[in-house]
Chain A
Amino acid sequence: MEALVASAIGVLTACGVYLILRLRVFAAILGISLLSYAVNVFLFSTGRLATGAAPILDKYAENPVYTDPLPQALVLTAIVISFGMTAVLVMFTLGAYLEAGHDRIDMDEVEPDIDDPITEGIALDMSAEPAEDRT
């Protein structure tokens, strides 16, 4: 049981890290999702693994096993947050893809070309259309 859970966490984490390092947005979304699954299972296991036990301490039971309820609450919070964050990530991804025309995460040009005065890579968007026109 422990070996199964531990290796599942390990495999999920490894796949997640690998996918994020691909630096492509779709891979990164999958990677972040896998990482959050891994961390959810990990949080779940921090209260020790007990099968078939209720999260209530029963002093009348013959064999008083119980499972720690706190990690379950933590996992629930973490699931909700990672769910929301994944939604934000998808929206960002779409926005960046539509703006840039490609799906790479690395920036194509941070440093501006000094000789080219066109507003490429500037910090402030002073170019033709103001943002509010597009909304």
Chain B
Amino acid sequence: MIEHWIIAPVALPAIIAPLIGFVMRHDITVARAFSVAGNILLVAIAAGLVGLAGNGDVYVYRLGDWPAPFGIVLVLDRLSATMVLLTTVLALIVLMHAIASGWDKRGRHFHALWQFQLMGICGAFLTGDAFNLFVFFEVLLIASYGLMVHSGGRVRMQAGLQYLVMNLAGSTLFLIALGTLYATTGTLNIADLSLKVQQMNPDDAALLRVAAVLLLLVFAIKAAIVPVHFWLPATYANAPAPVAALFAIMTKVGAYAIIRIHTIVFGPGTPATEGLISSVLFPAALITIAVGAIGVLGARRLMSLLAYSVIGSMGTLMLAISVFEPHAMTAALYYIIHSTFAAAALFIIADLVVSRRGNDILRPQPKTLQNGLFAALFFGGAIAMAGMPPLSGFLGKLLILDALRGPWMAAAWIAVLVGSLITILGFARAGSTLFWKCEQVTPEEGTEPIDSTPPPPEASFIEWAPAGLAILALAALTIFAGPAVRYAEGGATELFNPASYIGAVLDPEAKTKVFGKDKKDDSHAKPAKDHGEDH
């Protein structure tokens, strides 16, 4: 019975979204209430799933009760549970901001698209089937196209069109990769793929290596890794701010897919693809850090500065992932949680500031109301993103540096440390321009772009609370770094010992049999709960 909760993060938004879209389309208050209620429910379900997966069990939900290589499965382990919880908590914080700032009524169907977006992201995290991953990617992408151009405008429509064409080309590439994978292995179930790939003779595996690299490229587009990162700055800088904040999780979907596919299917020790992925991903991650840092330093707009800082953080994350080693993966999982909240916090704060300044150009301008409050929030977000103590960015980068000892140490340490320094410089420059130099500007110039409209009122507590909440989440992640890292360590251990994952998915008896009693399985194996109501 308990396995049925695994599909709840997909099913619940799938029910709520059309209800909001069709029934509540004319009443924003009801739509807001339903959207928030659904999101709170999702957080509760996700927290339950994290608890469920916490003791190292792998739970499998078989759609239509078809046995694994033939039917689609959803798999819950520590990694997917963490990602679902991260998504739902982030979405709740950002949704509160979208409602408080009124972004959700500047266009149609914000809440319906929001729920579809959550459905796609949660599904992508939970699925155990590569083609199903493609389908959930499309679900989250089609919702993100709508959210990206929410409230319209010339620049935003153009940026949205670029984002759309880029991702359509990426989806095509994804299908080609999946086709190649199916042609060589005859399966698309991730656990089954893992078994088939392990058995493959390296001499016959040329096509398989093509498929592995194509998949890497597709996920790198999502994760904005050099050289396929060009879509991100224009998209994030021109998306509505709450959407940009939610998109903080979208790059992590790409990172998650790389972690899932390229450790379980093409993991270390696979004869056919030994060392191939690292040799491609590691240099790309180094350059990504450099591009992000230089972009932060060179940005002339606040939103593009934040977009480049996201690219830099994805580079740091990919550096940890690219060595495919349990300690580095633990650090990477911790850093995923951190960088998601840090990016979202910064985009929310930027929205508060930009909506009061009237533009996001980095130049001195008369100061807004509550300048000190915004400066403090921006400072908190910036030190988190740059990786300064005391927030979790410092711990995350420390963990990554600590894990990256080895032949790659010199390059990795230089990239992370120099990249962090340049990011700090960029943020310090932007912050002092926005919040300090405004003290010297007299407001009587009369050339402000917003002088036709009255200045926006002070931000009420409810308006700046989501930003504070995101910073608080980072502080909590710092304080509870011990439990978080232990949980991440468990997730990383599962990734590099995929026997329990494969066993739980592929054993046709799994739903009626306790794994521990099965002789051929190890102690990690899943004690699948009986659910006798089937049949």
A and B, one complex?
A: yes
Please report A residues at the B interface, Cβ cutoff 8 Å. Answer: 16, 20, 25, 28, 32, 35-36, 38-39, 42-43, 45-47, 70-71, 74, 77-78, 81-82, 84-85, 88-89, 92-93, 95-96, 99-100, 105-112, 114, 117-119, 121-128, 130-132, 134-135
Question: Which residues of A are found within 8 Å of B168, using beta-carbon distances?
Answer: 32, 35, 85, 89
Contact, CB under 8 Å: B162 / A107 = yes
Q: Is B175 interfacial (CB 8 A cutoff)?
A: yes
Q: Which of B135-170 contact A (CB under 8 A)?
A: 135, 138, 142, 145, 149, 151-162, 164-165, 168-169
CB closest chain-A residue, reference B233: A110
Q: How far is the CB of B414 from chain A (nearest CB, A)?
A: 30
Contact, CB under 8 Å: A78 / B105 = no
A-B contact pairs, 25 of them (CB 8 A): A28-B165, A35-B169, A43-B178, A43-B179, A46-B179, A74-B131, A78-B175, A81-B138, A88-B145, A89-B165, A92-B164, A93-B161, A95-B161, A96-B160, A106-B162, A107-B155, A107-B162, A112-B301, A117-B359, A122-B360, A123-B302, A124-B241, A126-B359, A126-B453, A131-B151
Q: How far is the CB of A1 from chain B (nearest CB, A)?
A: 16
Contact, CB under 8 Å: B360 / A123 = yes
CA distance A135 to B152 in the complex (A): 10
Contact, CB under 8 Å: B453 / A95 = no
CB closest chain-A residue, reference B135: A77
A89-B165, A107-B234, A131-B152 given as contacts; is B355 within 8 A of A126 (CB)? Answer: yes
Q: How far is the CB of B205 from chain A (nearest CB, A)?
A: 16
Contact, CB under 8 Å: B300 / A114 = yes
CB closest chain-B residue, reference A25: B161
Q: Name the contact of A134 in the complex, choosing from B138, B152, B178, B360 (C-beta under 8 A).
A: B152
CA distance A83 to B301 in the complex (A): 37
Contact, CB under 8 Å: B361 / A122 = yes
CB closest chain-B residue, reference A106: B162
Question: Which residues of A are found within 8 Å of B358, using beta-carbon distances?
Answer: 119, 122, 126
**A-contact bits for B422-454, CB 8 A (1 contact / 0 none):** 000000000000000000000000011110110
Please report B residues at the A interface, Cβ cutoff 8 Å. Answer: 105-108, 131, 135, 138, 142, 145, 149, 151-162, 164-165, 168-169, 171-172, 175-176, 178-180, 182-183, 233-234, 237-238, 240-241, 300-304, 351, 354-355, 358-361, 363, 447-450, 452-453
Q: How far is the CB of B326 from chain A (nearest CB, A)?
A: 34
Q: How far is the CB of B277 from chain A (nearest CB, A)?
A: 22
Contact, CB under 8 Å: B155 / A20 = no
Contact, CB under 8 Å: A39 / B176 = yes
A122-B359, A131-B152 given as contacts; is B449 within 8 A of A46 (CB)? Answer: no
Question: Which residues of B are found within 8 Å of A39, using beta-carbon distances?
Answer: 172, 175-176, 179
Q: How far is the CB of A40 from chain B (nearest CB, A)?
A: 8
Q: How far is the CB of A98 from chain B (nearest CB, A)?
A: 8
Contact, CB under 8 Å: B180 / A132 = no
CA distance A99 to B157 in the complex (A): 7
CA distance A107 to B166 in the complex (A): 14
CA distance A71 to B179 in the complex (A): 8
Q: Name the contact of A112 in the complex, choosing from B171, B240, B355, B361 (C-beta under 8 A).
A: B361
CB closest chain-A residue, reference B107: A131
Contact, CB under 8 Å: B107 / A132 = yes
Q: Name the contact of B448 in the complex, choosing from A93, A117, A132 (C-beta under 8 A).
A: A117
CB closest chain-B residue, reference A71: B182
Contact, CB under 8 Å: A35 / B172 = yes
Q: How far is the CB of B26 from chain A (nearest CB, A)?
A: 12
Question: Which residues of A are found within 8 Å of B172, using beta-carbon distances?
Answer: 16, 32, 35-36, 38-39
In the complex, given contacts A82-B171, A125-B152, what are 17 additional A-B residue pairs having Cβ atoms less than 8 angstroms apart?
A: A25-B161, A39-B176, A42-B179, A96-B158, A96-B160, A99-B158, A107-B162, A123-B301, A124-B240, A124-B354, A130-B106, A131-B151, A131-B152, A132-B105, A134-B152, A135-B107, A135-B108
CA distance A88 to B142 in the complex (A): 8
CA distance A121 to B449 in the complex (A): 13
CA distance A71 to B249 in the complex (A): 31
CB closest chain-B residue, reference A86: B168
A32-B165, A74-B182, A107-B159 given as contacts; is B152 within 8 A of A95 (CB)? Answer: yes
Question: Which residues of B are found within 8 Å of A92, using beta-carbon distances?
Answer: 145, 149, 157, 160-161, 164
CB closest chain-B residue, reference A48: B183
Contact, CB under 8 Å: A117 / B449 = yes
Question: Which residues of A are found within 8 Å of B304, using beta-carbon distances?
Answer: 110
Contact, CB under 8 Å: B161 / A105 = yes
CA distance A99 to B303 in the complex (A): 22
Question: Which residues of B are found within 8 Å of A108, using beta-carbon distances?
Answer: 158
Contact, CB under 8 Å: B354 / A123 = yes
CB closest chain-B residue, reference A42: B179
Q: How far is the CB of A84 from chain B (nearest CB, A)?
A: 7
A95-B157, A99-B157, A99-B158 given as contacts; is B131 within 8 A of A119 (CB)? Answer: no
CA distance A74 to B158 in the complex (A): 32
Q: How far is the CB of A51 from chain B (nearest CB, A)?
A: 18
**Shortest 7 CB-CB distances between A and B: which pairs?**
A46-B183, A99-B154, A131-B151, A125-B153, A96-B157, A123-B303, A46-B179
A112-B359, A117-B447 given as contacts; is B135 within 8 A of A81 (CB)? Answer: yes
CA distance A123 to B304 in the complex (A): 9
Q: Name the contact of A96 in the complex, choosing from B142, B161, B302, B453 (C-beta under 8 A).
A: B161
CB closest chain-A residue, reference B141: A85
Question: Which residues of B are found within 8 Å of A35, using beta-carbon distances?
Answer: 168-169, 172
